[in-house]
Structure 1
Amino acid sequence: MAESRGTKRPSSDGKPGPLTSDLAARIKRAQVEADVPGDADIAATNRDMSGLSRGLRLGSEFIAAILVGAGLGYLLDLWLKTSPWLLLVMLLVGFAAGVLNVVRSTAEMNRAAPPPTDAMRVPDDAEDE
């Protein structure tokens, strides 16, 4: 068999070998050329989301998880002839996955949002006293 180009294995002393450093350089160059968004870009996008877009995102993630769970349950019921038990179980699993997705997305959005300032705070009735 023909030896492929650049098949040297990295050294085992922890330092990157020629293959690893070449691969890292090629990945970096491809990311720059493709303009791949980084973590800072994603955080900036989340910061710029309006209330409506946040609500639509969370709602669509929740509904999608439920529909996927119900769909998988329905298909499994058809295949295994266990109607309606797997549909009900997978519907509940989809609901749990939807809640988990909403909690994760909300936590991500809250981390990306700037901390509230005094001008953004709304006084409470308890603060008036």
Structure 2
Amino acid sequence: MAQSRNTKRPPSGERPGALTSDLAARIKRAQASEEAPGDAELSAANRNFSGWNRGMRLGTEFIAAILVGAGIGYLLDLGLKTGPWLMLVMLLVGFAAGVLNVVRSAAEMNRAAPPPTAAMRVPDDEEDE
């Protein structure tokens, strides 16, 4: 069978600590040159969003929060036999949570979006004069 990794011991002339220190130095160089992975992934994900994708994401977050709130209220109404009151209250709580999620997501998308260039700007009426 072929081995996929090199598991041989270093030659007797080299000491094992030299390989470890070399590996540690390479790891430090790689970590220093690497960006924060969360920021890179966030900006790459938001850069690929078209207007349609952004709208769908915000819409589904809003609807999901409302449905989760209404579902929890409905289950509480079934268990406590309080009629539609807890469902209505939790529906409003879900609505508030949905608005908060949409505002937070939109701010995150705007923060990750590249700043507008001169070519992207639309002239105002005052600039035409």
TM-score, normalized by the shorter chain, greater than 0.5: yes
- Unaligned ranges ≥5, structure 2: 1-26, 28-35
Alignment of 1:1-129 (within 5 A): 38-39=37-38, 40-129=40-129
Alpha-carbon distance, 1:73 to partner: 0.5
Matched residue pairs, number? 94
Q: AA paired with 1:55?
A: G
TM-score (norm 1): 0.68
Deviation larger for 90-99 or 114-123: 114-123
Question: C-alpha deviations, 1:4-50, integer Å up to 9, x for none?
Answer: xxxxxxxxxxxxxxxxxxxxxxxx9xxxxxxxx92112221112211
Alpha-carbon distance, 1:106 to partner: 0.5
Q: Which has the larger radius of gyration?
A: 2
- Matches of 1:110 and 1:117, distance apart in 2: 15
Give identity over the alignment, percent: 78
Give the CA RMSD over aligned residues.
Answer: 1.8
- Structure with bigger RCO (C-alpha 8 Å, 6+ apart): 2
Alpha-carbon distance, 1:91 to partner: 0.3
TM-score (norm 2): 0.68
- Matches of 1:94 and 1:50, distance apart in 2: 27
